[in-house]
Amino acid sequence: MSIPLLDLKAQYLSIKEEIDQAVLAVLDSSKFIFGPEMKRFEEEMALYCGTKHAIAVGNGTDALVIALKACGIAPGDEVITSPFTFFASAEAIAQVGATPVFVDVDPRTLNMDEAKLEEKITPRTKGIIPVHIFGQMADMDPILALAQKHQLKVIEDAAQAIGAEYKGHKAGALGDAGTFSFFPTKNLGGYGDGGMIVTNDDALAAEARMLRFHGCQTKYYHDEIGYNSRLDELQAAILRVKFRYIDQWNQTRAEKAAVYHQLLAPLADTHQVTLPFTAGSNKHVFHLYVVRTTQREKLMAALTERGVANAVYYPVPLHLQKALAYLGYQAGDFPIAEEACEQALAIPCYPELTQEQQEEIAVILLKILG
């Protein structure tokens, strides 16, 4: 038995004709950068998220950097985010010269704990980046209320959460801006890099459009120092094909998660295991299905031995990353995030996974952890 964490080959084969056709059409048009595919994909994303604007960029990290910059975040400012996320969430803050400030996560959802947020706000705080980890949105209402009270910008890092919802609102649509990544393994993944910023703010959108193209509005006239960050036509064409399936694929992922939940129910009451928790206000799109266990090493060995791929998201919380040592955080500062890094393990959860495969995986978990 060999079960990958994600089966991109099976997914490609299931839509091969449409993808091949879209790619060939781009080759035939010989329009490779800033063409009609990107433009249409932007329109489709904005419509889907329910925002006025969508601005395609080169990757999800650039989406954060450009959104921060377009929000006016500058050196000397502080931006609060989660320590339990991919490095880029904090890296982008440092890239624009601001200081990442962390707040611990909620033990159930592993998203930013809004109850601990206000104490992190200082006169220098200018923004908050809630990260919708593993495909579930952070508790946005209290975050937005605090942002309004203290006049802070909110940028949703929705890299893992395209299509996720909070009280009926799509990920990315609630903050001043929302950012997405189309890295191949994301729920909507291209065949290379890609990213998107969505916003309802006209000025922010105009600024982001300028920043992604060398601070330029009129060709060869540069108003400010920007970036070279674009979504090419091949990626846009591929993503537009896959975008037609995103709701179906997200739905199937959620169904697979529900199957795991049922199969693994006998473990739910043991103190060795925590299964993923979905808050009542949320539609979770299960970018990753992550269990937490004190027996992680043992479980990893057993899964690997049986050919079941598994991966640790994330081994090191951001406040303990070497690159961020200058911030002066220490072990013990964010105990929930640190414990999650010691216990979290992703097991295969993707649309093409079969019931039989899930049952085989569950048997291993029940045997090792039961």
Ligand X SMILES: *Cc1c(COP(=O)(O)O)cnc(C)c1O
Q: How far is the CB of 196 from ligand X (least distance, A)?
A: 10
Residue from 41, 134, 166, 183 that binds ligand X (CB under 6 A)? Answer: 183
Q: Which of residues 72-111 bind ligand X (CB under 6 A)?
A: 85-86, 88-89
Give the integer Cα–Cα distance in Å for 109 and 133. Answer: 8
Q: How far is the CB of 149 from ligand X (least distance, A)?
A: 26
Residue from 135, 195, 226, 276 that binds ligand X (CB under 6 A)? Answer: 195
Q: Which is nearer to ligand X, 60 or 83 (CB)?
A: 60
Any contact of residue 313 with ligand X (CB under 6 A)?
no
Q: Which is nearer to ligand X, 60 or 175 (CB)?
A: 60
Residue 123 neighbours by CB distance under 10 Å: 7
Q: Which is nearer to ligand X, 160 or 235 (CB)?
A: 160
Give the integer Cα–Cα distance in Å for 86 and 266. Answer: 31
Q: Which is nearer to ligand X, 195 or 226 (CB)?
A: 195
Both tokens of 316, joined, read: 């090191």
Q: Which of residues 154-173 bind ligand X (CB under 6 A)?
A: 157, 159-160
Q: Strands 78-81, 99-102: parallel, antiparallel or unpaired by DSSP?
A: parallel
Residue 298 neighbours by CB distance under 10 Å: 13
Give the integer Cα–Cα distance in Å for 211 and 215. Answer: 5
Both tokens of 242, joined, read: 């896959």
How many residues sit close enough to ligand X to count as binding (CB under 6 A)? 15
Q: How far is the CB of 57 from ligand X (least distance, A)?
A: 9
Residue 244 neighbours by CB under 8 Å, 6+ apart: none
Q: Which is nearer to ligand X, 186 or 296 (CB)?
A: 186
Span interacting with ligand X, options 35-43, 57-65, 111-119, 215-223, rule CB under 6 A: 57-65
Residue from 60, 127, 172, 175 that binds ligand X (CB under 6 A)? Answer: 60
Both tokens of 216, joined, read: 């330029």
Q: How far is the CB of 157 from ligand X (least distance, A)?
A: 5
Residue located via tokens 């996320």: 85
Give the integer Cα–Cα distance in Å for 139 and 279. Answer: 9
Give the integer Cα–Cα distance in Å for 77 and 128. Answer: 11
Q: In what order do the strands lie in the sheet with 289-293?
A: 273-274, 289-293, 344-347
Residue from 131, 138, 303, 345 that binds ligand X (CB under 6 A)? Answer: 131
Any contact of residue 235 with ligand X (CB under 6 A)?
no
What is the x/- site pattern for ligand X, positions 12-51, by CB under 6 A? ----------------------------------------
Q: Which is nearer to ligand X, 68 or 362 (CB)?
A: 68
What is the x/- site pattern for ligand X, positions 262-301, by CB under 6 A? ----------------------------------------
Query: 346: part of which helix (H) or strand (E)?
Result: strand 344-347
Any contact of residue 61 with ligand X (CB under 6 A)?
yes
Asked about 186 being catalytic, the answer comes back as yes
Question: Could you say which of 186, 242, 256, 283 is catalytic?
Answer: 186
Give the integer Cα–Cα distance in Å for 208 and 194. Answer: 15
Query: 54: part of which helix (H) or strand (E)?
Result: strand 53-57
Q: How far is the CB of 187 from ligand X (least distance, A)?
A: 10
Q: Which single residue brings its beta carbon nearest to ligand X?
A: 60
Q: How far is the CB of 361 from ligand X (least distance, A)?
A: 23
Residue 271 neighbours by CB under 8 Å, 6+ apart: 294
What SS3 state is found at 292? Answer: strand
Q: Strands 125-129, 273-274: parallel, antiparallel or unpaired by DSSP?
A: unpaired
Give the integer Cα–Cα distance in Å for 350 and 362. Answer: 15
Q: How far is the CB of 64 from ligand X (least distance, A)?
A: 6
Q: Which is nearer to ligand X, 88 or 98 (CB)?
A: 88
Residue located via tokens 């479980």: 299
Q: How far is the CB of 235 from ligand X (least distance, A)?
A: 11
Residue located via tokens 């189309």: 182
DSSP designation for 333: S
Cite the active site residues: 186
Contact positions toward ligand X, by CB under 6 A?
59-61, 85-86, 88-89, 131, 157, 159-160, 181, 183, 193, 195
